[in-house]
Amino acid sequence: MKSFVSQWEQLDWDDIRLRINSKTSADVKRALNASVVGREELMALLSPAAQAWLEPMARKAQLLTRQRFGHAVNLFVPLYLSNLCANDCTYCGFSMSNRIKRKTLDAQEIERECLAIRAMGFDQLLLVTGEHQAKVGMDYFRRHLPAIRAHFSSLMMEVQPLGQQEYTELKTLGLDGVLVYQETYHPTVYGQHHLKGNKQDFFFRLETPDRLGRAGIDKIGLGALIGLSDSWRADCYMMAEHLLWLQKTYWQSRYSVAFPRLRPCAGGIQPASVMDEAQLVQVICAFRLFAPEVEQSLSTRESPQFRDKVVPLAINTISAFSKTQPGGYAETQSELEQFSPHDNRHPRQVAEALIRAGMQPVWKDWDSWLGRA
């Protein structure tokens, strides 16, 4: 069965970067007036020329967001189960070469974390681990997912890529969604940042959303780590091609996109390309015009001030009060962090800011009476 790799092989990174950078102001105007934003229009909206059109892009993006999602903004929180990792990645605090204290939560510790998270109001959880198949793999998930799921109405994961059968099994244990960020769609750059471990396999990671779609996972999250490659515009466009493929091939699943920017971490690197806040707004608005029905997520990597201004434009899902280390909610151990969050506000403060902006905070993704048992 074909996967996105067959489409990716037809895409030329240098040609895409050149075409995006060559778009003119007239191209951007045509894209803004188009009834349907296709590939060429998206290139224009991602181009340097579009920066002068940010205000009309934002107005149209906000209008489309209200039409599709109303004023609702979903809140979720990540629960880091382990920082064990068998990969060596240049940008991650959990990298095996970093000399940090390693920890994997046991059943009692997981229970304490779940209770602390529920006490803050969250009913939607994202489980995160380092990539360590032997100690934080399927046996670990089989033991702990049912107990975690009993606390929450919606459960997502961001862990190492797995096989289709494993995703099918996890769905029976209560898994609703999976986030799997490609990091960068440039294979050479990918290789420069993934030095050891299974994550070196560019194509196995690239095909992960296909396996998720075949397993019938309800929500699939895509993302590129902004700053790894020297062209964030090309990476974002590649992700759009990936999204188009998945929507056409696995139309039963829902999709979300995110644009995380590199944040400080132990042993971290300097970005190869810098996306400033105005450019991040540009990308968010461009994707809303390109894919009006797709959820967009904004994490605590960004500042409180930025999030408060941008969420009402086009964002549907946000994390809040994220602790990026195992045991971060029931106890605080900052030395274990994967990266340093920027927005450290309590979830109630984030919710109050949303309400002041005219938005409606929603603490869960769905209810069982909607038909998903």
pLDDT bracket for residue 214 (50, 70, 90): very high
What average pLDDT does the structure give for the chain? 93
Sign of CA dihedral 116, 118, 119, 120: positive
Diameter of the chain by CA atoms? 60
CB-based contacts of 162: which residues, under 8 Å, 6+ apart?
138, 170, 208, 211
Cα–Cα distance measured from residue 290 to residue 44, given in angstroms and rounded to the nearest whole number: 11
Percent of the chain with pLDDT over 90: 84
pTM check: above 0.75: yes
Q: Judge whether 307 and 343 are in contact, CB under 8 Å.
A: yes
CB-based contacts of 139: which residues, under 8 Å, 6+ apart?
none
What does DSSP assign to residue 104? B
In the chain, where are the structural domains located? 4-70+82-296
Mean pLDDT value of segment 113-137: 94
H or E element in which residue 305 lies: helix 304-314
Reported as a single tens digit per residue, the pLDDT across 36-47 is 999 999 999 999
pLDDT bracket for residue 133 (50, 70, 90): confident
Reported as a single tens digit per residue, the pLDDT across 298-316 is 999 999 999 999 999 999 9
The residue ranges of DSSP E strands in 191-271, in sequence order, are: 194-196, 219-223, 254-258
The reported pLDDT for the residue numbered 367 is 66
3-state secondary structure of 124: strand
CB-based contacts of 113: which residues, under 8 Å, 6+ apart?
79, 105, 327, 328, 329, 330
CATH class of 4-70+82-296: alpha beta
H or E element in which residue 89 lies: strand 88-89
For Cα atoms 231, 237, 242, give the angle at the middle one, nearest 5 degrees.
130
